[in-house]
Amino acid sequence: MTDVLSPAKRSKLMSRIRPKNTGPELILRRLLHASGFRYRLHDHKLPGTPDIVLPKYKTVVQVRGCFWHYHTCIDGHVPKTNTEYWAKKLAANQLRDRKTDAALKALGWKVFIIWECDLGSGLQNLVDALKAG
Ligand SMILES: [Zn+2]
């Protein structure tokens, strides 16, 4: 099967269906709110503009989509069309994530990553970790 869109167009199209307020993030926000945790959203003052910031716990939560962030699960794979383009792009995303996480940790933040494919246990672990302080 050939891809009818050029890599640039495909990328533009796919970035449009990657809004800031994605499903898993909304679930996380509801859960945190219901559990009484206060957070800030998309803090531009911190490296990488983290999705969710819990200042009181000095914790940053990154909700990561498996495809875009090249997770080691079935959803994190290089597409079969425009392979070279995607391999580069996903590797760059992954590198940026590592740098962002390292920069946040260097500033004294705890970085908690929740993967889309593992949302349920990710959320549970997060709440447990926050409750434990
Ligand atoms: Zn995954």
**15-43 per-position pLDDT tens digit:** 555 555 668 888 999 999 999 999 999 99
Across 65-109, where does the E strand assignment appear?
A: none
| Strand 40-41 versus strand 59-64 pairing type | unpaired
SS3 87: helix
User: How far is the centre of ligand 1, averaged over its atoms, from the C-alpha of 114 (Å)?
Assistant: 9
Distance between alpha carbon 98 and the CA centroid of its chain, in Å? Answer: 12
Strand partners, 110: 59
User: How far is the centre of ligand 1, averaged over its atoms, from the C-alpha of 66 (Å)?
Assistant: 4
User: How far is the centre of ligand 1, averaged over its atoms, from the C-alpha of 108 (Å)?
Assistant: 27
pTM attached to this predicted model: 0.79
| Burial readout 103-115 (b: 16 or more C-beta within 10 A, e: otherwise) | ebeeeebebbbbb
User: How far is the centre of ligand 1, averaged over its atoms, from the C-alpha of 75 (Å)?
Assistant: 6
**77-116 per-position pLDDT tens digit:** 999 999 999 999 999 999 999 999 999 999 999 999 999 9
Q: Which residues surround ligand 1, an ion (CB under 5 A)?
A: 66, 71, 73, 115, 117
